[in-house]
Amino acid sequence: MKLKKLIDSNMTNFNILREICDRCLNTERWQGNVVLMVLDMAFTSVGVSYFNVVVPKIKIFQNEFIKTGRINSLSSFAQFNYKEAFHIWKNIRSWHVACEIAKFLSTVSENDRESLRLWANNSFLENWMNDPVAKIKGVGLISYQYLRMMGGVDTVMPDKIVKKVINDILIQAQYEPVYENMSFIKTVEVLAKKTGYRPIELCWMTWFHENSAKISEMP
């Protein structure tokens, strides 16, 4: 099957990729700190370079506010005066998104990890625009999907890199490329079943493909 061969050829460093995907689905990114996962999503939503901008900025925040104990939960972050961290990240929309998500998730459970996982597993793609997180101004489908993945949902986010790599593979295998977001997500989920991979693995495969030199810096 040409499609599977093409995907297999792009699955470089699969053991590392699988480990990262497992950690993502187990809500263990950023050493399991949900506040940092929410910030990761909010900062990434701006569209800047993940490895060159987002990761270094979150590490600075982690050192200044998480490791020092100034912020120790979603509920404490929800009350955070983000102007204190403007020297790290100046985009107000990102802070608003992160704080509003933290405020909502802190009402789901007293345990941060449980809150994210409960929300993610009770959110549904077909009804995503009515989801409490998606209703927060500044949260789009890509950000929504990214947070669901970190909450344990095996799916894919339709960002530009994922679309580019997957559609290139589809074209090489003589299939029609898919550009509409919802159709793209469904296509990748079907593709995963046909090729024996998980949707999240196909998603991360594309980032490995585009950023192979930076994979060692993954949080």
| Best CA proximity match to 155, nearest among 130, 120, 179, 129 | 120
CA distance 176 to 120: 31
- For the cut 70, the answer to whether the pLDDT of residue 213 exceeds it is no
pLDDT over 70 percentage in the chain: 95
Residue labelled with tokens 């020092």:
68
| pLDDT, tens only, 5-53 | 999 888 877 888 899 999 999 999 999 999 999 999 999 999 888 888 9
pLDDT at 218: 58
Mean pLDDT of the chain: 93
pLDDT, tens digit (0-9, with 9 covering 90-100), for 124-136? 999 999 999 999 9
pTM for this entry: 0.93
Phi-psi sector, 13: left (phi>0), alpha (psi -120 to 50), beta: left
Q: Tally Cβ neighbours within 10 Å of residue 122.
A: 10
pLDDT-derived band at 217, boundaries 50, 70, 90: low
Write down the pLDDT at residue 219: 57
The string of pLDDT tens digits covering residues 169-182 is 999 999 999 999 99
